[in-house]
Amino acid sequence: MQVFHHVASLREALAKARADGKTVGFVPTMGNLHDAHIELVKLAQQHCDLVVVSIFVNRLQFGLNEDWDKYPRTMERDMARLREAECDFLFHPDENEIYPNGMDQQTRVVCPAMTDVLCGASRPGHFEGVTTVVSKLFNIVQPDKAVFGIKDFQQLAVIRRMVEDLCIPVEIIAAPVHRESDGLALSSRNGYITADERPKVAVLNQSLNWVKDEIVGGRRDFADLEKEARQRIEDTGFRVDYFSICYSKDLQPAADDDKQITILGAMYTSAARLIDNVSLEL
């Protein structure tokens, strides 16, 4: 695995690879890699000749009271995992390399669609930080295909919309959610879950699947289903951020006759905010 800290040297290496006829896959991450990240790399390897992984903890997408300072940085372990997965290129820039004129002066990419609901409602400015840095990384790497996990369904939808709106020539590949045996979606923030909370956090995924089964069974009282699911989570001792039944394509509240539905939920443990979703097609 070749490691790059600078845009110019990465571009030079990628230009040589493309000259040899190789296709380029890309997996952007913030590090603290777990099994789900490695699955993204493996999926990219199935679709492309060469895979680039970036590790950059993007301060622009963190709110004022969020955990940028505390976000786990495990570079040596991450590099070992990527080498084991036979990743080709690792791009690990510092903040000055990504924001050479400073974040305050950085040109921003704003995707107004789908960013003021769900996670966007509780994390103002988050998706502006995501779309800005992902667009920059796309311009740096210029991949043929990029892989994102479905666990962050709203992020995936926003990035797809950004790519479409800005005519960015990259194919977005969605990777399935990688889960623990009890259904908990893997996340870099799962390390914040306490030992007492760990046996109970599966309630989020269980509530999502319960609502899915109810809809498949014929229920269309979506507001009541959302209320009942929130109560299930709160009864377990967690605070609900949101629980919403949405039309998959635009994340607006689902209508009775929608055929593509995604159910999304977020809840707080004592030190972590967990998100998850399930989708169905009627």
Q: Which residues are catalytic?
A: 37
155 labelled ligand-binding: yes
Q: What angle do CA 127, 99, 131 make, to 5 degrees?
A: 20
Calculated CA dihedral for residues 149, 151, 157, 159, nearest 10 degrees: -40
Distance of CA 193 to the CA centre of its chain: 19
30 labelled ligand-binding: yes
34 labelled ligand-binding: yes
Question: What sign has the CA pseudo-torsion 205, 207, 212, 213?
Answer: positive
37 labelled ligand-binding: yes
270 labelled ligand-binding: no
Pairing, β 273-281 against β 260-268: antiparallel
136 labelled ligand-binding: no
189 labelled ligand-binding: yes
- CB contact at 8 A, 261 and 254: yes
HSE of 28, CA atoms in CB hemisphere, 13 A: 26
Element (H, E) at 28: strand 24-29
- CB contact at 8 A, 109 and 128: yes
187 labelled ligand-binding: yes
32 labelled ligand-binding: yes
For the record, the structure tokens of 27 come out as 């997996």
Distance of CA 132 to the CA centre of its chain: 14
135 labelled ligand-binding: no
186 labelled ligand-binding: yes
In angstroms, how far is the first alpha carbon of the chain from the final one?
44
207 labelled ligand-binding: no
Residue 74 CB contacts under 8 Å (≥ 6 apart), including other chains: 31, 32, 33
150 labelled ligand-binding: yes
Task: List, as residue ranges, the binding site.
Answer: 30-37, 61, 149-152, 155, 186-189
Task: List, as residue ranges, the binding site for (R)-pantoate.
Answer: 61, 155
Task: List, as residue ranges, the binding site for ATP.
Answer: 30-37, 149-152, 186-189
